[in-house]
Structure formats: structure tokens, C-alpha cells
Amino acid sequence: MTTPAVRALKLALPQAELAYVVEEPYRRLVEGNPDLAEIIVVPKGQTGRDFAALVRRVRKARFDAVLDFHGGPRASLLTLLSGAPIKIGYGIKYRSFIYDVRVPRRTAGVRIHSVENHVNLVRALGVPVTEVSGLVVPEARPEEAATVRRFLGENGLATGDTGRPVVLHIGAGTKFRDWGAENMAALVRLLETRPGVRVILIGGQEDRAIEAAVLERAPGTFSLVGRLNLAETRELIAHAALFAGPDSGPMHIAAATGTPIVAWFGPNVTAHVAPWKPRAEARTIEKDLDCRPCKQRKCVHGDLRCMRTITPEEVFEACDVIIGGRQGAS
């Protein structure tokens, strides 16, 4: 969700060379981004020696400004040690002193989308922003696209075949956004009552346990859990009739494709993290509870009701409006 801010910066300063520091698992979300001159990758399991080398590399480049979109301990420390004459970041407790210009991350009573938050760091640099773009997610490389096309073709899911894939993201990221294997499996069974609809599960390696539980309850479902990188995930979603899943990274990747979205939200509210300027229809589901949004440290009710009171039938109804409409038009 930082890519619209990067786009705004590049449009305002077309001669500027922009470098982007990113952790290893997420490099495929920015590799090939036309607005970036350099991508600096932080290795997974970064050691103190790795961090020292990163600091030396950043200082050697003599950047004119550093914008800290992340605000975490390592990101803010890198900003502090960068040597840049202008440092911009969020007004976070205990770290605000690092930045020359501080931007509020939250304002009481005001709900602002995360994308707008990031763009405000660009504005704080003194750069005018007239319009905020959609998300910029580069397309898959030829070999990555071929991997996805081969899977779809071998399973009768390619464009023009009888299958109409729905991509379902089963991951949660944290227990507070875990919808549960039973709900996921129930949704799969409901979706596959629609003629020609087949479901493909996606997620990370950490989601293999929930994958097994869903497949046990909904046997015969296709699964690519733990087998796609982020660019391949984008490619798969782009070929689907629908993307469905909880508030997640893949949901935002879907917003950069032409695929409709159905997404459900628990502790986070849509005002902060809804699909940003999706290129196709996006339907969101959330419960109006006084405890939302929350910091996702402890459920005050102890039952994760913000997620668990969203029913498979509610989600299916939202999905069916889209896939049913597409089927009727075909």
C-alpha cells in the first residue's frame, strides 16, 4: 500500500532516483516497479552484521531524504543512521525524535486509509500530490506466468474451459484474523454448488495446517497453498472469476488486478484497509462492534467475534452476486 505514495513522488519529481528498502519475502511486489531505480533487499533473518552492512550501503548513497513508511524499530533505526538531511516518518511514541518531519499515524475521531497515510509522508516532504493512484503491483515474469497457465490448463481451469476458478485465500496472518477451517470449508462447499465454479486455495507455508483441515472437509478442492510466490499469486488472481478472502496482503494484490473481490474484516476496519481503488467490483463484509478496531493483542470478549460471527452464508451471498451475475452474462 506504499506504492501510490511512490508513484506520487515519482510523478512530482520525475528526475529523482528512488530506492526502496524491502524485506526478502516481499521483493516480488516491487521488482519491476517502473517508479523505482533501486531495490535494496533486507535478507530474511537479518543479523547485526547484515544490518550494519545495510546502514553502510544507505549512507554511501547519500540520499537527500528518507521516508519511513514502516515505523518499526529497525526501519526507524535505519532512518536515524541513514545520514540523510531530511528524515520523515510517523509521530510514534519513543521514536518521534528520529524524524525531522513527523506525520500523525492516527488522529482521534478520524479514520484515514493506510494508503492516504503513506501519501501524507510524501506531502510532508513538500511534494504536491493532486491525485492518488491505485496500487502498483508489477506483472509476473514470463516463467512465473507460464507456471500459472500450466496449472490452470492441466486442470481445465483456463479461460474458455468449463471451469471457472474462484481463488480463496485461507491465511490469516494472526489469530485475530483467523476465520477458521470450518468456515472456509463451508464456503468452498457453497461456492461449488454454482455450476462450473471450482475453488483454488492459496496461502503461505504457514497455512499448511489450515489447508489440510479445509481439504479434509472439502475434498477435491484445488490447492496451491505454499507453492506460489507473490508475483505468481497476482497472476493466478488475475485469471480468476473472483478473489475471496479475509483482510490480507493477497486481498490488496487482488485490487491491482481486474478480478472482483469479496473480503471480510475482523479487528481492522474497512475505512483503514479496504481494497484501495480496486480495478473491479469489491464487496466487503464487517460487523459493527464497539471493540473494533483493536490492536490485536487480546480479544476483550475472548471469542474473536468480529471474525467468527461472519457466516459462510453471508460471504457466499456476496460472492454469488458476482459469480452468479457473470454466469448469467456469459
Q: Looking at residue 81, which CATH number applies to its domain?
A: 3.40.50.2000
Q: Give yes or no: residues 101 and 228 share one domain.
A: no
Would you say residue 134 lies in a domain? no
Grid cell at residue 144: 512465473
Pair (151, 77) in one structural domain: no
> 86 and 170 share a domain?
no
In a domain, 183, yes or no: yes
Q: Is residue 130 part of a domain?
A: no
Q: Is the pLDDT of residue 270 over 80?
A: yes
User: CA nearest 38: which of 51, 53, 22?
Assistant: 22
Region 190-202: mean pLDDT is 94
Same domain, 310 and 227: yes
pLDDT greater than 50 at residue 238: yes
Question: Bigger pLDDT: 154 or 159?
Answer: 154
Residue 328, pLDDT above cutoff 70: no
277 shares a domain with 169:
yes
Per residue in 286-321, pLDDT (tens digit) is 999 999 988 888 898 888 889 999 999 999 999 999
Residues 150 and 100 in one domain: no
pLDDT-derived band at 163 (thresholds 50, 70, 90) equals low
117 and 150, same domain (yes or no): no
The Cα angle at residue 132 between residues 128 and 134, in degrees rounded to 5: 150
Average pLDDT over residues 42-47: 90
User: How large a percentage of the chain has pLDDT more than 90?
Assistant: 82
Q: Is the domain of 204 the same as that of 292?
A: yes
Q: Report if residue 131 sits inside a domain.
A: no
| pTM for the predicted model, two decimal places | 0.92
pLDDT tens column, 111-133: 899 999 999 999 999 999 989 99
Render pLDDT for 199-227 as a digit per residue (tens, 0 to 9): 999 999 999 999 999 999 999 999 999 99
Does 172 share its domain with 284? yes
Which of 157-166, 167-176, 265-274 has the lowest average pLDDT?
157-166
- Provide the residue range defining the domain that includes 33: 3-124
Domain count, the chain: 2
Q: Is the pLDDT of residue 110 over 90?
A: no
* Same domain, yes or no: 75 and 186: no
Residue corresponding to grid cell 514470463: 142
Nearest to 82 by CA among 100, 102, 63, 101: 63
What is the overall mean pLDDT for the chain?
92
Task: Please tell me whether residues 170 and 318 are part of one structural domain.
Answer: yes
If asked whether residues 159 and 286 sit together in one domain, one would say yes
> pLDDT confidence of 153, banded at 50, 70, 90?
very high
* Residue of 168, 227, 225, 211 whose CA lies nearest to 192: 168
pLDDT of residue 162: 53
The pLDDT value given to residue 327: 46
Does some domain include residue 137?
no
